[in-house]
Amino acid sequence: MAQKLYITTSPHVHCGDTIERNMRTVIWALVPAFIASVIVFGAGALIVTATSVASCLFFEWFITRFLLKRPSTLSDGSAIITGILLAFNLPSNIPLYMIVMGALVAIGIGKMVFGGLGNNPFNPALVGRVFLLISFPARMTSWPVPHQMAAYADAVTGATPLNLIGQIVGGNTAAADQLPGLKDLFLGNIGGCLGEVSALALLIGFVILLWRKVITWHIPVTILATVTVLTGIMWLINPVLYVNPLYHLCAGGLMLGAIFMATDYVTSPMTAKGMVWYGIGIGILTVIIRYFGSYPEGMSFAILIMNAVVPLINNWCKPKRFGEAAK
């Protein structure tokens, strides 16, 4: 026997899954939304996404190479996803230096200070976005109107559906006339952040993630269901003041957040039961912030708040043990 044998304990086979494969699938699933953003916002979408991805990759490389002095983690693909998701949470006319700052906060403070991928308690892209939202509230809440293909910084801005919804609740019921139709909302023919405009494109991404078994249905479905139920109740109570729930489902960052941000592996719960509670929490917080908060959109805050609760959820929500009932 000439062969040298490896001695390791079982199991001796692996299904072949890797971090890279999961991340690659997420990137593919983000492609439809990216295409939609380019169709809606033109050059601005390309510039913002490219800058964001490039800066995230740069900061990840820089920090691992020079500050942590560890082997490069660029190849795991997570920095690319953070870059894309950060861009998807920005308006298409945002100045480049702000994107670079957002990327530094997302990668540096959102992820690397905790020890890199796997250790971060908060979704890095959302940390970056919320930093920008609080630091530059004016630039972060002025959204170009769709279809100015060549425009970037000079794009004409306008109110988004969520702005209008806020105005209606504030008493200006006339704003209801400016609301775009549901079809435009579903396809993405509206103003807003890059990645959130087309519910259709995001749902295609959802199907890809489910099909490739990257995520399970629990988090997105419970978030969307909770928002539908809560806004539905309010709509039934007063349809003049509160828009119908379909509007809430398609407007703002709800779909993007529910499908791509809340489902981030590292910062979401580990059991199906935990995922359901987490989803319900995000749904409730989103509706509260949308209707009663000072920001028109509550998705990013809702996810970050629930991220903070995840360790508790993991302690409370244990899987159903085999033989538990019989014990």
Partner 1 sequence: MNTFKIGGVHPEPNKLSAGKKIETLALPNQAVFPLSQHIGAPAVPCVQKGDQVLVGTRIADAGGFMSSPIHSSVSGKVSRIDSVVDASGFRKPAIFIDVDGDEWEPDIDRTDTLALLCTLSREEILDRIRNAGVVGMGGACFPTHVKLSPPKDCNIDVLIVNAVECEPYLTSDHMLMLEHSDEIIVGVRILLKVLGIDRAVIGIEENKADAIQLMQSKTSMVSGIEIMPLKMKYPQGGEKQLIEAVTGRQVPPPPALPANVGCVVQNVGTVFAVYEAVQKKKPLIERIVTVTGKSVKNPCNLKVRLGTPVSQLIEYAGGMPEDTGKLISGGPMMGRPLLDDKAPVVKGTSGILMIPEADAVRRAERNCIRCAKCVQACPMGLEPYLLATASEAGDWATAEENWIMSCIECGCCQSTCPSRRPLLDWVRLAKNRVGGIIRARNTKK
- Sites of contact with partner 1 (CB under 8 A): 1, 3-15, 17-19, 21-22, 76, 115-119, 216, 265-272, 314, 318-327
Please write down the HEC assignment for all residues of 71-103.
Answer: CCCHHHCHHHHHHHHHHHCCCCCCCHHHHHHHH
Whose Cβ is closer to partner 1: residue 80's or residue 289's? 80
**CB of 8: closest distance to partner 1 in angstroms?**
6
- How many helices and strands, by DSSP H and E, does the chain display? 14, 2
Asked whether the beta carbons of 306 and 219 are under 8 A apart, the reply is no
Closer CB to partner 1, residue 29 or residue 168?
A: 29
Nearest CA to 155 out of 68, 209, 90 is that of 90
Q: Shortest distance, CB of residue 201 to partner 1, whole angstroms?
A: 24
Q: How far is the CB of 18 from partner 1 (least distance, A)?
A: 5
Q: Which DSSP letter does residue 294 get?
A: S
Distance separating alpha carbons of residues 8 and 103, to the nearest angstrom: 42
* Nearer to partner 1 among residue 138 and residue 326 (C-beta): 326
CB 55 within 8 A of CB 63: no
Q: How far apart are CA 48 and CA 74, in angstroms?
A: 20
Pick between residue 177 and residue 324 the one whose CB is nearest to partner 1: 324
Query: Min. distance of Cβ 301 from partner 1 in angstroms?
Result: 22
Tell me the HSE value of 74 on the side-chain side, using a 13 A CA sphere: 14
Nearest approach, Cβ of residue 4 and partner 1 (Å): 8
In the bound state with partner 1, the residue whose beta carbon lies nearer, of 182 and 272, is 272
- State which residue, 147 or 213, has the beta carbon closest to partner 1: 213
Tokens for 86, please give them.
């950060």
Q: How far apart are CA 175 and CA 159, in angstroms?
A: 10
CB 106 → partner 1: shortest distance, Å?
A: 17
